[in-house]
Amino acid sequence: MKKKYRYTIIISMMLLLNGCGGKGDSSQEIIHSEVSTFTLEEKKFLHTLFLTEYLWYDQVSASVDYNQYQYPQEMIDDLRIDPPDKWSFMISQKSYESLANQQTSGFGFRYRSDFKVYLVRIDAPAWGKLQRGDQIIAVDGESPSIQKIDEVSKNLNVPAIFTVQRDAKTIDVALTPRAYNYKVTQEEILHRQSKKIGYLRFDAFTENSVTEIEHAFDHFHTTGIDELVIDLRYNGGGSIDTASILLDNITNKYPGQRQMYLDWNANNQNKNSNYYFEEKELQDGNELTMSRVVFLVTKGSASASETLINALIPYLGRNNIITIGDTTHGKPVGMSGKKYGKHYYFLINFTVNNTAGDNSGFDGIPATCSAKDDLSHQRGDSNESMLKTALHYLETGLCL
């Protein structure tokens, strides 16, 4: 498979970092704790990035009092143009590399404000122990709180007892937080009437997930699926390279044709980039020829998730791109990280457009069919509301 450009579109720090231990991670505390030093030279470097490479460079103040900033994110928040920019951020080199390599530490689950679990990372310490829909009612005998879960998640290699309510039963689950690698894909074959439907859970467009994608499409291709459902409901984005490779696997009907392009500001048009479907001789043989695709989406489906959906519209047609759930996040722009010392700066640099010149829009992509994120069923369960609606649409062309 040919190498593509190495750009990255990443959603906000909160979406990136939540889930290492749970919902309660504080993005500002994490950002501040990662700062080694923030020198005058680095402040000038950051300001220059805003004045030159930032998409809305012409709206940034040329005069800045550098002395008022102790942390990079404070300066970014002051200089970014909001609205629409609510995403530009700084991340440490260590954290960036961990995210790219699908490495982190803690328990590996996410929960809502009512302490109900909605996601467990694949192969995380909580995988196979906590379940989607578990209601946390105690942690080590104490009432659950963001602070308590954060505290035990950082106490690596020390077991904690989570008391949860599951299916009207109260059970104790022993979890030990640790450093771990996780997966972002899980595929299944669903049989409906005479059709085979490929279901792909895809949680993040990481650079390392390409091998997982190839494995999933090997399975789909060998099985000979008739329809494809891709579950992006919590996928906040990531690498455009990975989105491009996923497009290659969805359809091999358009070799050499442009998938999408990046459009920088007026001063950086030389950095504009195109992404193409693989040439025929470079195809691996596991690519599908899907004429329509269903996506399960929520407000948490952002950035590269929206790019993927939008890129298919000129080729498959809007009516053959079915979105089930809720309107997506609304991030039609991306970042190309710049490194200074031990810090990576991701400022919004470009819009991401499909080959017809359209982007996914700041209002997000509307749902073809509305459906709730049903925590009473596991993802991939055909009775789960979003997937059930998708399957019904594939069979009837109607929403539930």
pLDDT at residue 191 is higher than 80:
yes
Between CA 12 and CA 90 the distance in angstroms is 10
pLDDT tens column, 34-52? 666 899 999 999 999 999 9
Between CA 122 and CA 346 the distance in angstroms is 27
Angle between helices 210-223 and 240-250 (to 10 degrees): 10
What pLDDT was estimated at residue 20? 35
What pLDDT was estimated at residue 231? 98
Mean pLDDT of the chain: 92
Range 232-248 average pLDDT: 96
Range 383-391 average pLDDT: 98
- pTM: predicted TM-score of the whole model, two decimal places: 0.93
pLDDT tens column, 96-127? 888 878 899 999 999 999 999 999 999 999 99
Which residues is 373 bridged to in the sheet? none
Between CA 365 and CA 363 the distance in angstroms is 7
Cβ proximity of 159 and 175 under 8 Å:
yes
> Of how many residues is the chain composed?
400
When pLDDT is cut at 50, 70 and 90, the band that residue 33 belongs to is low
Show the domains of the chain with their CATH numbers: 13-98 (no CATH), 105-181 (2.30.42.10), 185-333+349-395 (3.90.226.10)
87 half-sphere exposure, CB direction, 13 A CA radius: 31
Distances (CA, A) of 32 to 26, 73, 147, 308: 10, 8, 18, 33
Number of CB atoms found within 10 A of residue 132's CB: 20
DSSP per-residue letters across 31-66? HHHT-S---HHHHHHHHHHHHHTSTTGGGS-S---G
Q: Which residue has the tokens 């792909």?
A: 200
Cβ proximity of 230 and 296 under 8 Å:
yes
